[in-house]
Structure 1
Amino acid sequence: MYDVMLEEAKLWFDKPRVNSPPPLPPCPPVDEDSDDEEVDPVAWEKYQRQVSESGGFDVDLFFQPFGGIIPGGCSDHSLLFGKVGLHCYNLEKGTNLQFKEVTKVNSQICSILTFYITLEATDPFHDNSVVTFQTTVTDTVLKHQARLRIFTTTCRIKPQVPGTGELGSIWYPDNDVDPCYKVDLPNWLQDDALSGDDKLQFYEVRDWELKENQWLYLYAEFALFSHWEDDLSAYMPFEMRKVLVQTKEDMKLKSGNAVFYLSFKARGGPECRGIVRRTTDGRPGHMCLETRCWIDK
């Protein structure tokens, strides 16, 4: 089943990469002999205009027989995915916007599920002023032994003028990332991993770096969520035991492509181990996270 879904997803994503709103299907033809409810051409035109102007983030509820974008409520998934989109933006822009709350979620099912998430964040560098942030995150097909795989397409401050602002280009991680990351996620490290020939690929995160890079706790949340798929607020904050980074790049923690090994303890809960792989094709707003997690009894 997943193979079929993947092929369908590839057909949708293997299109020219341009900065444009989400692709829209044409208004379906009217079958005069059909008794089914038909699409109102006026409503369809309004829907297309709203998607074009807002990038899919501000769309009214329309009759959608072909998997269009529809408004919905905030879930545990969209809450976490919104945080990931904000993290992607901070990583790219060098900002430190802090998540406050999700205010709106639209979604679209096209073999895979895409969320158009609007949230509020505060900017500690500007008197904690509130900004409206928007991100598009796709919950994609499971593979590479991952329990959860998502990728971002758009990560932006909401533009003041409709129809303006950055819109991410279409991409698909399995096509566009470094080939060495198109493989299964690794198993947990063996005891001698840091003393072998590959030891130069590993970097142990120091305590002061944990304090300055709070998004590592988001990665722990992402890993544990893949196992429990539930609200984790009762188990946070986590107590981080150790974080190792594996990468071929020089930026270490800020590398676009890296594997993170996280040992942590959930508050009042068990000891946990998670692997999170971060990849990108280098384009703005593009980041993929894959994870697997172990709960140590």
Structure 2
Amino acid sequence: MSVWTPFTGGQMEYWRQVRESGGFNLEGISVPRGTTGLMSYDCEREDVRYPYPVLVERYARFGLHRYNMCNATNLQFHHLKKVSLTMICQAIYFITLAACDPATSPVTLELGVAEGCRKPGRSLSLTCFIARPLGTPSEPVQLPNTELVVVDDAQLPCWPSDFNDTQRFYEVKESELQDNDWIRLNLELALCTNDRNLEVSDLSQLQIVNVLIEGIQGNATLQAAAANVYITFKGLAMSRVGELGEHVVRKVIIRRAINELTGCMTLLGGYGFSIGEATEERFIPRPSFISLYEAGNIVPFRGPMTGPPLGGFIGRKAIELGLFPDYRQD
């Protein structure tokens, strides 16, 4: 028998409002004291910083790719407008972005992207479950179970010994890479989900060496909705797996699938471990956010505070430095 309390009642009312808003329009919806709801950020404000901006932008581009693929459009990413996310290990992102096309007026899209369970050899597990123009009528959203939202949970294949079977594999021409920017996006997603601290400067150094597409259903083509994509690349100086150095040619496997019933697009990918390399994951040290703040590289956080930002000495030091000016202890 459930026991109703003001606390549980407040939670139920909060999540009811979230469902009715679709997870996107949370202005005016307050998080019950003592609990954690969706964290919302206005990405158009220069003084607002949100977690892992490089990764979030690529999640947005992934959702835009899904929209273009399912609607036969060619919208290009312009900028993020706002993002809301659940504060859990496998987060769910509600993203609003602006996209444009020279032949059409600017469009605002709403995208829902869910992280799935990471497994050994599969650092990338991502599903886009919403991709629609702003204002599209919709039913109240139910937060997806990230264990169920992945529509193609097949094991990633091993790296083939050769790619000579032209009926099975399609080798992407260098001239086709620029017109199919989803290939580089998939590569960047596989790397960013493996190391969330990668910067734009790290990704800009990447050079794709070769891409082969294996059709899962029928012949392999660039337009295959369900496919395994094999990418070799170089230009990544620091890596959690494999040798170090920009000269090292590395491998990524990505499996793409679309659920025809739900329209969900899923990416499963592995970097390093997925190709049978006997390598150990290494730790890459990063500067602490306190040292970055003192160097002037972090803007103080401004947004809804549902609890202490951090605990222990680091948390106290961050508050003293003014990283969380809106946080007040009772």
Residue 239 of structure 1 corresponds to which residue in structure 2? 207
Q: Check whether the contact 1:146–1:291 (CA below 8 A) recurs between aligned residues.
A: yes
Q: Indicate how the Cα distance of structure 1 residues 289 and 175 shifts in structure 2: closer, same or farther if over 3 A, else same.
A: closer
Q: Check whether the contact 1:176–1:281 (CA below 8 A) recurs between aligned residues.
A: no
State the SS of the aligned residue for 1:212. Answer: coil
CA shift digits 1:189-220 (9 cap, x unpaired): 32x3425xxx5221111233222211111012
Q: How much has 1:172 moved relative to structure 2?
A: 6.7
Q: Check whether the contact 2:22–2:141 (CA below 8 A) recurs between aligned residues.
A: no
Matches within 5 A, 1:209-220: 209-220=176-187
1 or 2, which has the higher helix percentage? Answer: 1
Residue 58 of structure 1 corresponds to which residue in structure 2? 25
Distance 1:141 1:224 in 2: 16
Pick aligned residue for 1:139 from 112, 115, 135: 115
Q: Check whether the contact 1:153–1:171 (CA below 8 A) recurs between aligned residues.
A: no
Residue 299 of structure 2 corresponds to which residue in structure 1? none
Q: Percent identity?
A: 25
Q: Check whether the contact 2:93–2:114 (CA below 8 A) recurs between aligned residues.
A: yes
Residue 160 of structure 2 corresponds to which residue in structure 1? 189
Matches within 5 A, 1:40-55: 45=13, 48-49=16-17, 51-52=19-20, 54-55=21-22
The letter of the residue matching 1:227 is: N
Residue 150 of structure 1 corresponds to which residue in structure 2? 126
Q: How much has 1:294 moved relative to structure 2?
A: 3.5
Distance 2:103 2:59 in 1: 24
* Match status 1:124 vs 2:102: yes
Q: Check whether the contact 2:214–2:220 (CA below 8 A) recurs between aligned residues.
A: no
Residue 285 of structure 2 corresponds to which residue in structure 1? none
* Match status 1:286 vs 2:264: yes
Q: Check whether the contact 2:208–2:233 (CA below 8 A) recurs between aligned residues.
A: yes
CA shift digits 1:237-272 (9 cap, x unpaired): 633221100113347222221110112233773433
Q: Indicate how the Cα distance of structure 1 residues 245 and 65 shifts in structure 2: closer, same or farther if over 3 A, else same.
A: farther
Distance 2:18 2:35 in 1: 17
Distance 1:134 1:231 in 2: 25
Pick aligned residue for 2:38 from 69, 83, 88: 69
Q: How much has 1:154 moved relative to structure 2?
A: 0.3
Distance 2:92 2:234 in 1: 31
Distance 2:67 2:130 in 1: 9
The letter of the residue matching 1:149 is: S
State the SS of the aligned residue for 2:222. Answer: helix
Task: Give unmatched runs, 5+ long, in structure 2.
Answer: 42-49, 238-245, 278-330
Q: How much has 1:64 moved relative to structure 2?
A: 6.8
CA RMSD of aligned residues (A): 3.5
Pick aligned residue for 2:234 from 225, 244, 265: 265
* Match status 1:228 vs 2:195: yes
> What TM-score do the two structures reach when normalised by structure 1?
0.71
Q: Indicate how the Cα distance of structure 1 residues 284 and 167 shifts in structure 2: closer, same or farther if over 3 A, else same.
A: farther
State the SS of the aligned residue for 1:279. Answer: strand
Distance 1:261 1:96 in 2: 24
State the SS of the aligned residue for 2:210. Answer: strand
Distance 1:139 1:176 in 2: 9
* Match status 1:103 vs 2:81: yes
Distance 1:231 1:175 in 2: 26
